[in-house]
Structure 1
Amino acid sequence: MLKKTTKLLLTSALIAGLSTAAVAKEKVYKWKLATTWGSTLTPFIDAPQNMAKMVEEMSDGQLLIRVDASNKHKAALGILDMVKGGQYDMGHSASYYWKGKDINTMPFSTMPFGMTTPEQYAWFYHGGGMELMKKVYKKHKVLSFPGGSTGNQMGGWFRKEINTTEDLKGLKMRIPGFAGEVMAKLGLTVTNIAPGELYTSLERGTLDALEWVGPGMDIKMGFNKIAPYYYTGWHEPGLDLQYLVNERKFKKLPKDLQQILITAMRVSAYDMYIQNYHMSAEAWAKIEKDFPNIKIKTFPKEVMDAMKKANAELKAEKTKNNPLLKEILDSQDAYQKKAREWTKMSDYLYLKDNL
């Protein structure tokens, strides 16, 4: 009788265990993701959309992510707050947009005269960057992951030619992040405007200049119709976008879905980088023929020297009483110094000898 009872109990337990496992496996997690970007802003909007598609396919439909563009949620620069507050489970934006809330978030996008995209991604994944980013975002109760790089960005569109530092003074310019503080130190009035409002602001004279990304994205926006002077870059040598994930919601996912999400974010980030590179290569190949009014310029040495001086002074000032920011910037500077020697050897000398 005892053996029979034991057998029945074991059988019941087995059935219950299998049922529980089956129910767990069948559970569908439905998430929402908010972006800073409008629904047509390729390739920025493509990154989260492609990520969501990969997650759905790899999870066999267990994790579904709805991507809401900024024209739906109407809070392009409110992504951190919405993910932190739980209105959205995820976000796709850029870390330097939160410098007003927490200056320590800023370097995880890019820094003036800083690392290129390959250098910065190497720092993220092999040089301690991910650990530092986790430390910064922990207090916000969100996780941050690299979300796609633009590569080296152009220095911006200006209504007038810049020949001296005096030409910069008094200009109203859209330029975010640490570069915005550098420009403010040189006498510009700096603002950060959501992507969907850039052209209108330039057209109406609210802005005298702006920087956006590079030819692949910029020319489609029509900035050259108003501000034909197009300057080469210095301020965002490897801008990285970011995925934000609500930490509490992430921990509730089964381990396999967590890994699927992490993998999809990483793959979609790389895909966005090469897609943007292709777009800019295509646009640059026909810029002279199709857009003869665009005047390609490089900032004069006097201006570049002033930017570098202001950048160094600001870094010293900002880190003086902020040990965490100092730790991040010191880590980036040290890695850049090391990696740049290989960048020069592998890329610079190759280009120098073959152009």
Structure 2
Amino acid sequence: MAADKPIKWRLAETWPAGLPIYSEGSHEFAEEVKKMSNGRLIISIDSANKHKAPFGVFDFVKTGQYEMGHSASYYWKGKDINTLFFTTMPFGMITSERFAWYYYGGGAELAKKVYGEYGITQYPGGNGGNQMGGWFKKEINSLDDIKSLKMRIPGFAGEVMSKVGGTVVNIPPGELYTALERNTIDALEWVGPAMDLRMGFHKIAPFYYTGWHEPGSGLQYMVNDKAFDKLPADLQEIVKSAMKNSAFNISNKMTNAHAENWDLIKKEYPGIKIKTFPPEVMSALKEANKELISDLEEKGGLTAEIVESQREYMRKARAWTNISDKAYLDN
């Protein structure tokens, strides 16, 4: 290809235009690819505002309509249940454990088995860290309070919430505030203080609960395999390197933004009531999660392979987390 004729790709993201950190991250990724390739590969970004299908990114990349996507893997559980495991799982691995599992514990190979069936390769696209349990209009004092809820909560956590009696509603990020305001939902989880405060949820739902459902919430880049294979080898390496840099930068920006905004809550938002779920609720959620994981494992095949891989890796990694980070923090 002539040096003066760049290769042009398009990336579809689930996020609304201008969403801090997440959408910023994909734009910074594209800019890095442009710089590293000396303009030989140009990636344009279409937000959900433009393509109008925030939950259509998987199909966009699968069909080649877009060469890339930036989203979260658990949004595709209705297409393939095995995609769930590559974002986060309730009561599962924290961020550092999840990255280690993906890169060194067999996660990348399992992701290739899952997404390879669709002509896609997925890569880590950042991590939101341990997410908060959500914003609630009313205080949760018992399991009965959960059973009366309509809540936006995606992924496997939605399955868990349904099993304990809640009603789960899946709503695109750009419509969350309106849904809460119009009583379409009674509660929602989004990310954490890094991104929640600017959404204004606290104006309607002042009870802010600590998390259980997304202990290490990984985003993803998806790449169409046919498009990737057509790239020269050096551009392939540039794309992979820029994705890894993007994942690193998004994760660190999230940690910083969580800290900054948590400090703001304490100083400037006295009306926000920080809560933890009662023991009765946590016990019910853990039991429901355990039963649902068991049901998944009974499917056998690749699903059981992924469950066992994550369980075994978490066993090893958590032993170290407990004796290192947790022991230090508990002092």
Q: CA deviation at 1:341?
A: 1.3
Q: CA deviation at 1:322?
A: 3.6
Which residue of structure 1 lines up, in the alignment, with residue 38 of structure 2?
Answer: 60
Which residue of structure 2 lines up, in the alignment, with residue 293 of structure 1?
Answer: 271
* Structure 2 residue 277 is matched with structure 1 residue 309: no
* Structure 2 residue 329 is matched with structure 1 residue 351: yes
Secondary structure (helix, strand or coil) at the match of 1:111 reads coil
Which residue of structure 1 lines up, in the alignment, with residue 224 of structure 2?
Answer: 246
Secondary structure (helix, strand or coil) at the match of 1:91 reads strand
What 5-or-longer segments of structure 2 have no aligned partner?
A: none
Which residue of structure 2 lines up, in the alignment, with residue 12 of structure 1?
Answer: none
* Structure 1 counterpart of 2:118, one-letter code: H
Which residue of structure 1 lines up, in the alignment, with residue 105 of structure 2?
Answer: 127
Secondary structure (helix, strand or coil) at the match of 1:241 reads strand
Which residue of structure 2 lines up, in the alignment, with residue 17 of structure 1?
Answer: none
Secondary structure (helix, strand or coil) at the match of 1:136 reads helix
Which residue of structure 2 lines up, in the alignment, with residue 205 of structure 1?
Answer: 183
Which residue of structure 1 lines up, in the alignment, with residue 80 of structure 2?
Answer: 102
Aligned equivalent of 1:230, options 183, 203, 208: 208
Query: In terms of mean alpha carbon deviation, does 207-216 or 315-324 score higher?
Result: 315-324
Superposed counterparts of 1:117-266, under 5 Å: 117-266=95-244
Deviation string 1:205-262 (CA, Å, 9 cap, x unpaired) is 0000000000110011000011111000000000000001111000000111000000
Which residue of structure 2 lines up, in the alignment, with residue 36 of structure 1?
Answer: 14
CA distance in structure 2 between the partners assigned to 1:249 and 1:262 by the alignment = 14
Percent identity, please: 58
Q: CA deviation at 1:352?
A: 1.2
CA distance in structure 1 between the partners assigned to 2:257 and 2:266 by the alignment = 16
CA distance in structure 2 between the partners assigned to 1:127 and 1:145 by the alignment = 15
Aligned equivalent of 1:79, options 57, 61, 69: 57
Q: CA deviation at 1:111?
A: 0.3
Q: CA deviation at 1:28?
A: 1.6
* Structure 2 residue 272 is matched with structure 1 residue 329: no
Tell me the TM-score normalized by structure 1.
0.92
Which residue of structure 2 lines up, in the alignment, with residue 91 of structure 1?
Answer: 69
* Structure 2 counterpart of 1:246, one-letter code: N
Q: CA deviation at 1:27?
A: 4.7
CA distance in structure 1 between the partners assigned to 2:321 and 2:101 by the alignment = 13
Query: In terms of mean alpha carbon deviation, does 317-326 or 204-213 score higher?
Result: 317-326
Which residue of structure 2 lines up, in the alignment, with residue 269 of structure 1?
Answer: 247
CA distance in structure 1 between the partners assigned to 2:250 and 2:197 by the alignment = 18
CA distance in structure 2 between the partners assigned to 1:250 and 1:110 by the alignment = 26
Q: CA RMSD in A?
A: 1.0
Q: CA deviation at 1:26?
A: 5.0
Q: CA deviation at 1:25?
A: 5.0
Query: In terms of mean alpha carbon deviation, does 80-89 or 343-352 score higher?
Result: 343-352
**Deviation >2 Å, runs of 4+:** 23-27
Q: CA deviation at 1:192?
A: 1.2
Q: CA deviation at 1:87?
A: 1.1
CA distance in structure 1 between the partners assigned to 2:264 and 2:225 by the alignment = 45
CA distance in structure 2 between the partners assigned to 1:57 and 1:101 by the alignment = 36
Q: CA deviation at 1:332?
A: 0.6
Which residue of structure 2 lines up, in the alignment, with residue 13 of structure 1?
Answer: none
